Amino acid sequence: MSQSFDVLVIGSGIAGLSFALDVAKRGRSVAILTKKDKADSSTNWAQGGLAAVTALTDDFPAHVRDTLAAGDGLCDPKVVRAIVRDGPECVRELAEWGVRFSRGPGGGYELGREGGHGARRILHVKDMTGRIIEEALLKAVAREPRIALFEHFFAIDVITRRKLAPRTPRGGDRVLGVHALDVRDGRVLTFRAPVVMLATGGAGQVYLYTTNPDIATGDGVAMAWRAGVEVRNMEFIQFHPTALYSATGRRFLISEALRGEGAVLRNLAGEAFMRGVHPLADLAPRDIVARAIDAEMKKSGAAHVWLDIRHRNEAWLRRRFPQIFAACRALGLNLARDLIPVVPAAHYVCGGVATTIAAETSLSGLYACGEVACTGLHGANRLASNSLLEAVVMARRGADSVDRYLRAVARARAPVPDIPVWVDLGGGDTDERVVISHNWDELRRTMWDYVGIMRTTKRLERARHRIANLSREIQDYYWNFSVDARLLELRNLLQVAGLIVDCALQRKESRGLHAIADHPRKLRTARDSRLVKK
């Protein structure tokens, strides 16, 4: 069974939904595939907000400077300027789709401030910005007749001319569609389209402790890599400094916006330790704060540090941070009266599928935007709340590029080859499924222990060896058993883990989020790490 569309979108977060809306209004038919419920996305979990210049006290050059400073010499300045400049117009477009950002008493936006920002420029809806954006975009998608949304469809791999005809030169390769698993009944369907937009989000589940939802398994990066697309800067994994500590291992995000409102990090002795680390103290860029917390914990042997916002009254905290207040109360903590235990946790992949400023990858017809992509905006460390900005700007730019590409495809009238149906090898010993759960746990512990906040070459080599062994086992399993969602996710996570380690071993310096004890200094010239499949 197969279905045909002009454009396939893989993922239903802010990047995928806003892109689909932009493409559909140009008269194109769009299918959105999402592997779980339509609202299951990293966007839905975003608390802080969207960084954009909307205040008279702010300007584009200031936002650009803050982004470049956080990126530690590895941002592409042209990309930074373009995305920052497009921000206000995209905010207006979000408002047209129904997003209502919080307003202050005078009617203007109630802007927050977060780490690395020199001004208040974070648009938010209390501490549930992502959820409100997700709800508004899904309502807009439901009103658009040109968009079909397929829930519980797991995209397995991109179908290309080269996969069907291996002798096709790389320069002549292009996208033909995707194979996708219907998670509910186990069938694999073919979706045909000349364009695929990867908007699959991040890969936080590759680590033992993460602020990401369960869906963040690096699917888009793995799919692009298997299709021969360049991947870049995967070593730069942002560990959010302040996740709520609990004995269960779950890590609920405590937004940086609390520190923007004066919250202070303290060690177990009650000392505010960030003042001696960076001029911005608790509002330093995330890489600096996360390493400082990690150092404090290792020095004292503590399982966490404290976050202190007791100078704010309870009524104000309940209004401004309702989700965070409720999450703390569930553990018997009151933001207004108690110190809050926090620890770093894997949060955001700053690298990803290499794209142009038009969201184009090195494979004709394959595009990427949002966390799955590496545009050059984030460099070695993402500035807080630039992620939602990048997603919506690049979705719009990607829609422009896709429209031009589809016009060119129509003019070329190239024949479309037949796509063979998926062959299910089937069966297998169900007792062997323990391999999946065992390897999943081993991978996440390996990455946490050896590819974490502070690294060494020896640990990275150890991780590479273990990941290679796990990958061989799962690849063998993949070819001999029927596929299911858990197997596909683990296959993708292992692919992504290998890419993270390979990029980390390329970088013989400490820069941004990549801190390695063997190479503590920065090199004079900043270069991207690049991986291209042979």
In whole angstroms, what is the distance from residue 453 CA to residue 446 CA?
13
In whole angstroms, what is the distance from residue 29 CA to residue 23 CA?
8
CATH number at residue 443: 1.20.58.100
Could you tell me which residues come within 8 angstroms of residue 305 by beta carbon, excluding any fewer than 6 positions away?
A: 265, 266, 267, 268, 273, 293, 296, 297, 341, 342, 343
pLDDT at 254: 93
Judge residue 165's burial from the number of C-beta atoms within 10 Å of its C-beta, 0-12 exposed, 13-18 middle, 19 or more buried. Answer: exposed
In a domain, 49, yes or no: no
Q: How many Cα atoms occupy the beta-carbon half-sphere of 258 within 13 Å? A: 31
CATH number at residue 367: 3.50.50.60
Average pLDDT over residues 148-157: 97
Average pLDDT over residues 167-172: 79
In a domain, 420, yes or no: no
pLDDT at 1: 65
Average pLDDT over residues 356-371: 98
pLDDT at 430: 60
- Would you call 343 helix, strand, or coil by DSSP? strand
In a domain, 252, yes or no: yes
Tell which wins on pLDDT, 170 or 528: 528
Confidence grade of residue 106 (pLDDT, cut at 50, 70, 90): confident
Give yes or no: residues 30 and 144 share one domain: yes
Give yes or no: residues 364 and 313 share one domain: no
Give yes or no: residues 11 and 134 share one domain: yes
Q: Which residues lie across from 364 on neighbouring strands? A: 174
Minimum mean pLDDT range among 153-157, 384-388, 430-434, 483-487:
430-434
Tell which wins on pLDDT, 146 or 56: 146
- Kindly state the percentage of the chain with pLDDT values over 70: 96
pLDDT tens-digit map of 216-275: 999 999 999 999 999 999 999 999 999 999 877 678 899 988 999 999 999 999 999 999
CATH number at residue 327: 3.90.700.10
pLDDT at 40: 64
Confidence grade of residue 28 (pLDDT, cut at 50, 70, 90): very high
In a domain, 390, yes or no: yes
Confidence grade of residue 431 (pLDDT, cut at 50, 70, 90): low
pLDDT at 479: 85
pLDDT at 427: 63
* One-letter amino acid for residue 468 of the chain: A
Tell which wins on pLDDT, 262 or 164: 262
Extended strands (E) in 245-303? 252-253, 264-266
Give yes or no: residues 276 and 133 share one domain: no
Average pLDDT over residues 344-357: 97
pLDDT tens-digit map of 190-211: 999 999 999 999 999 999 999 9
Confidence grade of residue 314 (pLDDT, cut at 50, 70, 90): very high
Task: Name the residues annotated as catalytic.
Answer: 286
Confidence grade of residue 357 (pLDDT, cut at 50, 70, 90): very high
Confidence grade of residue 369 (pLDDT, cut at 50, 70, 90): very high
Of 347, 363, 383, which closes a domain?
347
In a domain, 96, yes or no: no
Give yes or no: residues 386 and 296 share one domain: no
In a domain, 166, yes or no: yes
Whether the pLDDT of residue 428 is over 60: the answer is: no
Average pLDDT over residues 346-354: 97
What do you get for the CA distance between the two ends of the chain, in Å?
32
pLDDT at 429: 57
What sign for the dihedral angle of Cα 459, 465, 466, 471?
positive
Give yes or no: residues 227 and 142 share one domain: yes
Give yes or no: residues 439 and 503 share one domain: yes
Give yes or no: residues 137 and 21 share one domain: yes
Give yes or no: residues 438 and 465 share one domain: yes
Give yes or no: residues 133 and 229 share one domain: yes
Give yes or no: residues 295 and 215 share one domain: no
In whole angstroms, what is the distance from residue 210 CA to residue 504 CA?
19
In whole angstroms, what is the distance from residue 390 CA to residue 484 CA?
32
The torsion angles phi and psi of 384, rounded to 5 degrees, stand at -50, 135
Average pLDDT over residues 403-419: 89
Of 365, 381, 412, which closes a domain?
412
In whole angstroms, what is the distance from residue 224 CA to residue 220 CA?
6
Cβ distance 349 to 202 under 8 Å?
Answer: yes
Of 347, 379, 394, which closes a domain?
347
Computed over every residue of the chain, the mean pLDDT equals: 93
In a domain, 77, yes or no: no
Whether the pLDDT of residue 79 is over 80: the answer is: yes
Give yes or no: residues 206 and 316 share one domain: no
pTM over 0.85: yes
Q: Name the residue range of residue 507's domain.
A: 430-526
Q: 10 to each of 387, 485, 529, how far by Cα in Å?
A: 18, 15, 26
In a domain, 112, yes or no: no
